[in-house]
Amino acid sequence: MFCQSLCARAQRSNLLNAPRINDTLRPMPKSHFSHVTTWVFDLDNTLYPPHMRLFDQIEVRMTAYVMQALKVDRARADYLRGHYWRTHGTTLAGLMREHSVDPAPYLMEVHDIDFTVLSPDPDLRSAITALPGRKIVYTNGCAPYAENVLAARGLNGLFDAVYGVEHADFHPKPDAAAFDTVFTKDGVLPTSAAMFEDDPRNLAVPHALGMRTVHVAEAPLAQTHIHHHTADLTSFLRAIT
Ligand SMILES: [Mg+2]
C-alpha cells in the first residue's frame, strides 16, 4: 500500500522532472548510503560489463522472434525491436500490447544463448557480499535467465531474491507499476534502498520513490534523477562499504 501510494504520486506529479539541487555526479561518500538496507541491482550490462556483449546475442534472437511472430522481414523486425524498446520500455512489452504476443515462449527463445562469453568476477562477488542488508536482482529479462547469468559470473547464491519481468505481471521497468509490484512483493522500503542500473530510464521512478540511484555505465549522464555514476561497479561498492 505504501509503495502503491508512492508510485501513484510519482506518476501524477512532476517529481521526475522537478527542479532540484543537481546532485548528479556528486562524489560518493559512504554517508550517502549509510541509510541503505536494501540493494537492488539490474542484471544486463550492470552485473556484467557491456564489452562482454551478452545482450547482442539476445537482440539477434529478438529480431528473429519478431520476424517470425509478425511475419515481417529482418529490417522491419530490427526497427520494431528498437521502436518497442523506446516506446514501451522493452521489445516484449510492445509485442504484448500491440500484437498480443505470448510472453513465455518469447522469453525462453530470446534467452537461449551462449553464456560462456561471461567470466566469473570474484572481486564483484566479494564487494556485493560486503554490503550490509538485503540484496536483490531485478531484471526486465526472466528470473531463470538471470540465474544463468549470475552462475556464469560466479554471483549465484549471493542474492536474497531474483525478480524478472514475470514477477511484475510482464510490466517492464521503467513503468511505475512494475516497480510497485516487485517492491511490494519483496517488501522494499524505497527510502532505505539503492538502485544500480545501466539504463537511465529505469532510475527515474526509483528516484521519485526516494531511492538512492546509481547509473552504471561508461559515460556519465547529467540527469536530475541520477545521484551517482560509476563505470566500475566493484570499485564503487568498495568505496561505500
Ligand atoms: Mg540493464
Domain at 54-110, CATH from 3.40.720.10, 1.10.150.450, 3.40.980.10, 3.40.50.1240:
1.10.150.450
Q: Which residues of 150-170 are buried (b: 16+ CB within 10 A; e: fewer)?
A: bebbbbeebbebbbbbebbeb
pLDDT of residue 183 exceeding 70? yes
Spans of all domains in the chain? 2-48+120-240, 54-110
Give the cell for residue 215.
Answer: 547509473
Give DSSP secondary structure letters for 95-117: HHHHH---HHHHHHHHT---GGG
Give the cell for residue 86.
Answer: 523506446
Question: Which residue type sits at 92?
Answer: L
125 Cα–ligand 1 center, Å:
18
Q: Does domain 2-48+120-240 have CATH number 3.30.1360.200?
A: no
214 Cα–ligand 1 center, Å:
12
55 Cα–ligand 1 center, Å:
9
pLDDT tens digits, residue range 127-174?
999 999 999 999 999 999 999 999 999 999 999 999 999 999 999 999
Mean pLDDT taken over the chain: 91
102 Cα–ligand 1 center, Å:
22
**pTM, to two decimals:** 0.88
- Per-residue confidence at 21, pLDDT binned at 50, 70, 90? very low
115 Cα–ligand 1 center, Å:
16
**3-state SS track over 149-189:** HHHHCCCCCCCCEEECHHHHCCCCCCCHHHHHHHHHHHCCC
pLDDT of residue 52: 95
pLDDT of residue 100 exceeding 70? yes
47 Cα–ligand 1 center, Å:
8
pLDDT of residue 24 exceeding 60? no
pLDDT of residue 97 exceeding 50? yes
